[in-house]
């Protein structure tokens, strides 16, 4: 009979808090990358996901994702409001911690995943429409996909896919959805302008550092125990992250003549993404290769590939998470070894080419499901309530236009925006239809 282990329980409680802390870290990372007139709305979008999914998960999300299987695609509703989820461990998921704690730990994954999509739709989405879209996405995309991969009875789980902490469930799903959102919404009004640069690099580094710190709970915590596998996952996570950042900055220095802090930060996040599905299955040597390749791949996907195809993935949700997660999921099928985790499987380089096929099936299924599902959800929300802000609101900046707030109220951005709003109101025209006076060049 399952018995609660106090050490495991303490570690997963701490890991849950670490994973939750990643989401404000993501907010700072994204907030530093946008322009100063859109900082508040970017932070708010990420924070709003915490509020929405925290409630959705306990209402029915956890039951859909991890509840008793229905047709190998979804859980049933018997765990609504955490009914039948209490202090007694669930031997199928976590035999040494309370079942309720496992639900809490998984809640934090469910929170950060849709928050990652903000990177693809930043600076041009109505806040109310965003809230509705995220609620639908968490329910229709994330919950079934989590069941496919991690739920007992899920079809990819039965197939033998290896995804230790969320390469498919978290990163491919959010990255591909970010790409679809960027294409659906179209480019920002000033796309291609040199003004579209990170407005606050220290904020980017702060966000990266919080993400790196919290990611140890994300990856090492996914062992669901304080044991040797958790230690191994911790080590390879740190190794791959550093290797990816180094690879990015070296390629950037070679191509542009400069090694930027924003680039190194993006490379570190790419390493975290790529090692996530593999961290419980690969050794240190494998993690080095995964990290180096991730840094190189995501650099080119976030620069050359995005430029070639012309889509406006504002903060590289797809370039970092979609491509990084895809590489990480495939690399798991290459470098996995039962010497690290006897509950896993060997990969191609350890004599099992079949695992690569399984990983590719999981990658393809996630791409198709997340991509098509996101497009449909965006279309529905757009038809019902509209999804993109007006050109005037976009030019003013969403902080003032949507929230009547500004991250830097002492700057001219605030005064100029308020002046524009007042002139529009005096004219009796609506914001969405009135001609937009020109703002100063640096805004």
Asked if pLDDT for residue 426 goes beyond 90, the answer is: no
Query: What percent of the chain is predicted at pLDDT more than 70?
Result: 92
The residue written with tokens 């100029």 in the block is 416
Radius of gyration of the chain (CA): 22
With 0-12 / 13-18 / 19 or more C-beta atoms within 10 angstroms meaning exposed / middle / buried, residue 197 is exposed
**What pLDDT was estimated at residue 409?**
79
Confidence band, pLDDT 50/70/90 cuts, at residue 432 = very low
Distances (CA, A) of 78 to 61, 289, 319: 11, 43, 38
Task: Give the C-alpha separation, 238 to 234, whole Å.
Answer: 6
Domain annotation for the chain: domains and CATH numbers: 6-385 (1.10.3430.10), 409-443 (no CATH)
Asked if pLDDT for residue 305 goes beyond 90, the answer is: yes
Query: What percent of the chain is predicted at pLDDT more than 90?
Result: 89
**What pLDDT was estimated at residue 425?**
60
Confidence band, pLDDT 50/70/90 cuts, at residue 438 = very low
Residues 185 and 124 sit within 8 Å (Cβ to Cβ)? yes
**Average per-residue pLDDT for the chain:** 93
Q: What is the pLDDT of residues 243-265, one digit of tens each?
A: 999 999 999 999 999 999 999 99
Asked if pLDDT for residue 119 goes beyond 90, the answer is: yes
Asked if pLDDT for residue 414 goes beyond 70, the answer is: no
List Cβ neighbours of 393 (8 Å cut-off, separation of 6 or more): 401, 402, 431, 432
Asked if pLDDT for residue 283 goes beyond 50, the answer is: yes
Task: Give the C-alpha separation, 82 to 324, whole Å.
Answer: 33
Asked if pLDDT for residue 413 goes beyond 70, the answer is: no
Confidence band, pLDDT 50/70/90 cuts, at residue 419 = low
Asked if pLDDT for residue 113 goes beyond 80, the answer is: yes
pLDDT, mean of residues 54-66: 98
Asked if pLDDT for residue 434 goes beyond 70, the answer is: no
Percent helix, strand, coil in the chain, to 5, is: 70, 0, 30
Q: What is the pLDDT of residues 171-203, one digit of tens each?
A: 999 999 999 999 999 999 887 777 678 999 999
Q: What is the pLDDT of residues 137-182, one digit of tens each?
A: 999 999 999 999 999 999 999 999 999 999 999 999 999 999 999 9
Task: Give the C-alpha separation, 101 to 98, whole Å.
Answer: 5
Show contacts of 228-236: CB within 8 Å, 24+ apart.
Answer: 229/280, 229/340, 229/341, 230/11, 232/279, 232/280, 232/283, 232/340, 232/341, 233/164, 233/165, 233/279, 233/280, 235/284, 235/287, 236/275, 236/278, 236/279, 236/282, 236/283, 236/284, 236/286, 236/287
Three-state secondary-structure class, residue 70: strand
**What pLDDT was estimated at residue 407?**
92
């Amino acid at each position: 009979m399952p018995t609660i282990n106090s050490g495991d329980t303490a570690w997963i409680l701490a890991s849950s808090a670490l994973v939750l802390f990643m989401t404000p870290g993501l907010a700072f990372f994204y907030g530093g990358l946008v322009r100063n007139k859109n900082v508040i709305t970017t932070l708010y979008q990420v924070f709003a996901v915490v509020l929405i999914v925290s409630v959705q998960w306990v209402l029915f999300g956890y039951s859909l994702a991890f509840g008793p299987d229905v047709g190998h695609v979804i859980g049933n509703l018997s765990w609504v409001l955490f009914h039948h989820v209490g202090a007694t461990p669930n031997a199928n998921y976590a035999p040494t911690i309370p079942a309720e704690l496992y639900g809490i730990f998984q809640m934090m994954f469910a929170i950060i995943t849709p928050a990652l999509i903000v990177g693809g739709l930043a600076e041009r989405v109505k806040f109310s429409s965003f809230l509705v879209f995220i609620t639908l996405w968490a329910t229709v995309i994330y919950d079934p996909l989590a069941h496919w991969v991690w739920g007992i009875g899920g079809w990819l789980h039965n197939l033998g896919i290896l995804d230790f902490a969320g390469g498919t469930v978290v990163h491919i799903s959010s990255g591909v959805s970010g790409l679809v959102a960027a294409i659906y919404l179209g480019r920002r009004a000033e796309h291609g302008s040199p003004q579209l640069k990170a407005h606050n690099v220290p904020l980017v580094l702060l966000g990266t550092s919080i993400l790196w710190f919290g990611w140890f709970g994300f990856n090492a915590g996914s062992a669901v125990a304080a044991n040797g596998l958790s230690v191994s996952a911790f080590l390879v996570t740190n190794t791959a992250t550093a290797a990816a950042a180094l690879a990015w900055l070296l390629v950037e220095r070679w191509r542009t003549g400069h090694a930027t802090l924003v680039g190194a930060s993006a490379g570190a996040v790419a390493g975290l993404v790529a090692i996530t599905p593999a961290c419980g299955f690969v050794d240190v040597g494998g993690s080095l290769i995964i990290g180096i390749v991730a840094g190189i791949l995501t650099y080119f996907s976030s620069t050359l590939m995005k430029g070639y195809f012309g889509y406006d993935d504002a903060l590289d949700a797809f370039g970092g998470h979609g491509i990084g997660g895809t590489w990480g999921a495939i690399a798991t099928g290459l470098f996995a070894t039962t010497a690290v985790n006897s509950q896993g499987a060997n990969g191609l380089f350890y004599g099992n080419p079949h695992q690569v096929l399984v990983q590719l099936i999981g990658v393809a299924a996630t791409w198709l499901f997340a991509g098509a599902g996101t497009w449909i959800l965006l279309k529905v929300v757009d038809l019902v309530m509209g999804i993109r802000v007006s050109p005037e609101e976009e030019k003013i900046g969403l902080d003032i236009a949507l929230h009547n707030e500004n991250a830097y109220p002492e700057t001219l951005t605030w005064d100029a925006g308020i002046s524009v709003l007042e002139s529009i109101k005096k004219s009796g025209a609506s914001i969405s239809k009135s001609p937009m006076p020109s703002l100063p060049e640096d805004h």
